[in-house]
Amino acid sequence: MSADTSFIEDLPAGPLDAYRKKAKFDWKKLKLVFEDVNLLKMKLKVWNALEKDSIFQRPEKELLTKEQKRIAALQLQQFRKYKFMPTNGQKASIKDRARYLMTINEALAAAYPDVSVKQALGVFLFQNTLATLGTERHQHIIEALWNRQILSALALTEVAHGSDAKNMRTTAVYDKETQEFIINTPDFKAAKCWVGNLGKTCTVALVFAQLYIGDQCYGLHAFVVPIRNPKTLLPYPGIIVGDIGEKIGLNGVDNGFIMFQNYKIPRENLLNKISDVTPEGEYESRISDPTKILGATLENLLAGRVGTMQESANNLACAVTIAIRYAAVRTQFGPSNNEELPIIEYQLHQWRLFPYVAAASILKIFSTAAIRHYLNVIEISHTETTVDNLNDMISEVHAIISAGKPLTTWACRDGIQECRECCGGHGYLKAARFGELRDTIDARITYEGDNNVLVQQTSNWLLRQWHSVLEEGQVCSPLSTCSFLKDHLVILKFKFNGSTVQDVKNINFITRCYQWLITYLVKITHDKQTALLEHSKCKFTARNDSQVYKAAILSRVYGEFVALKYYWKRINRNDVEISLRPILETLGILYGLSCLDKHLVYLYQGGFANNHSLSELVKNGILDVCSLLKSDVVAVVDALAPPDFVINSILGKADGKLYEHIQAEFFNNPGAMSRPSWWREIKVDNAPELKIRSKL
Ligand SMILES: Cc1cc2nc3c(=O)[nH]c(=O)nc-3n(C[C@H](O)[C@H](O)[C@H](O)COP(=O)(O)OP(=O)(O)OC[C@H]3O[C@@H](n4cnc5c(N)ncnc54)[C@H](O)[C@@H]3O)c2cc1C
């Protein structure tokens, strides 16, 4: 049965129709492959509400940073009043409920990134952490959170330590006389910093500190710490708290710093699901290894990372929508004086842009799959059901997300920049929106775990699988993302023997290349680490000196392979109409070939190919697919795009009336045609006045 697309609004007629008419599929049906129908309806509901809400109207002129913070705080307050969750949502399973909440925040992030960051940190991440690390004694805090009585913050990073969480120096010392923890910041380098919502607005923070009983340190633990009096918003005594100042972007978020001086909190404020301290000062833990306790504590950040993946894929979709719509209307040069071509007709322009359209399509579907896996393991972890390989599943999901967040955010960073350049000078206008998209993605590369550090978790996991293949001939990959490693002897013998473009323009070739690449890279990374370890006798050095050209590229290649794997699985589902298959396959092949183009050196280095044909065919394949995509690409971005209100770009509107919107921007920007108030300061008294009329 054909999917019901009647709830998706038609697009306005205009100059883009010329290309829209060429598409060989229905863009609305394609949209329902990129988006789950119910979640899309929910997002449309959110966007419709915000579009009509006066507090969410966009300012006509640039606001001062402190005004941006005020507006974002008010918008968040207002947003929390909406009841977007379906009526049965409150009773839904943990998984469904979390999915709804993530979708609501995803919708918010696409239009108001600052407000969504404030909500994600101050409400969802806090709630998630309390639910997973807290117990019934923290239930009242969760309730206060849902009743909008609390806005929180998550304080992990310190001035001198970010990625290296286990060396953080804030302490929480247990005092059994008063049954309190005493929190201290030894010096400025241990001040918590960059903490969203902490600068001006939050009343409570989740603070990560080293737990001490006497002289014994039990590692990093999470504590609920009151920060400000909710009635006055003034900080409590014993705290130095403030805003870190203006940033490159996301200035609606009040990122703050904090230092504690013998600041006391009740014993019960320790989140105690994994480990607890008895009133008498005994430490009790369900896990004996302190590094595992830290791991379990920080596992919560996974929710933020999958959310980041999805939001970044959406940002990339926004950027390519703007650039493709622009390219289909903008004309420059032509074969004859009276014929100018739309810039989308140029091969170079297609080659610069279309791979990012493919990336947005693949990464949207990949992030949806990553969220599904993440929520599945969360749900299983919360039920009584025992699942034999749950830990293996969690490790694999962790590996997928640790590769997926960097893959998606980096693709988005590069894609936005290319799209900006593809729109020429007009792309540099603030109203084109690339600036905001670029600033937002920039921060995502670092927060929720710095990309270059995160990818090491994926390569470590892959190396463990490789070790297990060599030792026991098996792999722990319940989600089958690297189960092929057990066939490594066969895979490493693969050789490329294709001779036509058709030999590379197919998913079997792409899968074969990726399986070979992952196997080859994990092998050479392992060999390098083993040699370094023998030489230096130091695991730390061995690991660090095998990142460049080895482990780091291994994680990247694995991320791309998994992204394609989930994409292929999705497009081959029964609910995907036959009419959509060709375009979906084209997008998948373009993504695969464009990524492989960047890894050719490894395919040659390892002997997968030994003459020029692989390189030539991959490159010709990309150009072939680009030219094939030209007539469909406008409809593809129609399927990827959110409504105009969300895209918020004068270059990317669905009506394609590019020059009307540019004119409106030029003419209507405040004070555009008025003399500046400071004109006297620059006037030149003795300047000759040139005639404006001819003497004749
Ligand atoms: C907009 C924004 C919002 C934030 N919000 C919060 C928040 O709400 N709460 C909070 O606690 N924190 C927050 N942070 C902080 C953020 O989580 C940290 O910036 C991040 O974890 C990285 O830590 P760092 O800045 O100390 O960088 P560092 O860890 O010092 O890294 C610096 C550089 O060194 C590299 N590097 C580090 N270790 C290695 C290694 N082993 N091998 C190779 N390279 C390495 C990194 O890749 C990076 O490029 C926020 C940051 C930003 C930008």
Question: How many residues can be counted in the chain?
Answer: 696
Residue 385 pLDDT: 67
Residue 216 pLDDT: 97
Domain membership flag for residue 318: yes
245 and 322, same domain (yes or no): no
432 and 455, same domain (yes or no): yes
Residue 90 pLDDT: 65
Domain CATH number, residue 411: 1.20.140.10
662 and 631, same domain (yes or no): yes
- DSSP for 481-498? SSGGGGGHHHHTT-----
d(CA 656, CA 649): 11
Sign of CA dihedral 228, 232, 237, 241: positive
Residue 293 pLDDT: 58
| Residues of the chain falling short of pLDDT 70 | 1, 89-90, 288-299, 384-386, 695-696
70-108 in b/e form (b: 16+ CB < 10 A) is bbbbebbebbbeeebeeeebeeeeebbebbbbbbbbbbb
CA of 450 to the centre of ligand 1 (A): 5
Residue 301 pLDDT: 74
Of 288, 318, 335, the one marking the end of a domain is 288
Q: To which residue do tokens 């290894």 refer? A: 289
Of 232, 256, 288, the one marking the end of a domain is 288
pLDDT tens per residue across span 587-641: 999 999 999 999 999 999 999 999 999 999 999 999 999 999 999 999 999 999 9
pLDDT tens per residue across span 461-511: 999 999 999 999 999 999 999 999 999 999 999 999 999 999 999 999 999
250 and 321, same domain (yes or no): no
CA of 160 to the centre of ligand 1 (A): 10
Minimal-distance CA residue to ligand 1 atom 30: 162
Instruction: Let me know: does 123 contact 152? Beta carbons within 8 Å.
Output: yes
> Running DSSP on this structure, what letter comes out for residue 236?
P
Report the predicted TM-score, pTM, of the whole model to 2 decimal places: 0.96
259 and 313, same domain (yes or no): no
Residue 307 pLDDT: 95
Domain membership flag for residue 164: yes
Query: Angle 390-422/552-571 helices, nearest 10 degrees?
Result: 90
Best residue for ligand 1 mutational test, from 453, 543, 555 (most atoms within 8 Å of Cβ): 453
Number of domains in the chain: 2
CA of 244 to the centre of ligand 1 (A): 15
- The gap from C-alpha 332 to its chain's centroid, in whole angstroms, comes to 35
Domain membership flag for residue 675: no
Domain membership flag for residue 339: yes
307 and 234, same domain (yes or no): no
Confirm whether residue 196 is marked as ligand binding. yes
Domain membership flag for residue 46: no
Query: Which ligand 1 atom lies nearest to the CA of residue 208?
Result: 11
Collapsing DSSP to helix, strand or coil, 242 comes out as strand
244 and 310, same domain (yes or no): no
Confirm whether residue 386 is marked as ligand binding. no
253 and 314, same domain (yes or no): no
Domain CATH number, residue 222: 2.40.110.10
Q: Across 449-560, where does the E strand assignment appear? A: none
ipTM over 0.95: yes
400 and 427, same domain (yes or no): yes
Query: Which ligand 1 atom lies nearest to the CA of residue 121?
Result: 8
Collapsing DSSP to helix, strand or coil, 226 comes out as strand
Minimal-distance CA residue to ligand 1 atom 26: 162
Of 262, 288, 314, the one marking the end of a domain is 288
Collapsing DSSP to helix, strand or coil, 520 comes out as helix
d(CA 415, CA 404): 16
d(CA 331, CA 344): 9
Residue type, 195: V
Q: Which active-site residues does the annotation give? A: 448
Q: Rounding to the nearest 10 degrees, give the CA dihedral for residues 267, 272, 277, 278.
A: 80
Can you give 331-372 as a three-state secondary structure string? EEEEEECCEEEEHHHCHHHHHHHHHHHHHHHHHHHHHHHHHH
234 and 303, same domain (yes or no): no
- Which residue segment(s) compose the domain that 643 sits in? 23-36+299-480+491-669
330 and 224, same domain (yes or no): no
d(CA 46, CA 55): 14
Residue 290 pLDDT: 61
d(CA 543, CA 460): 9
Ligand 1 pocket member 251 (CB < 6 A): no
Residue 128 pLDDT: 85
Domain membership flag for residue 679: no
346 and 386, same domain (yes or no): yes
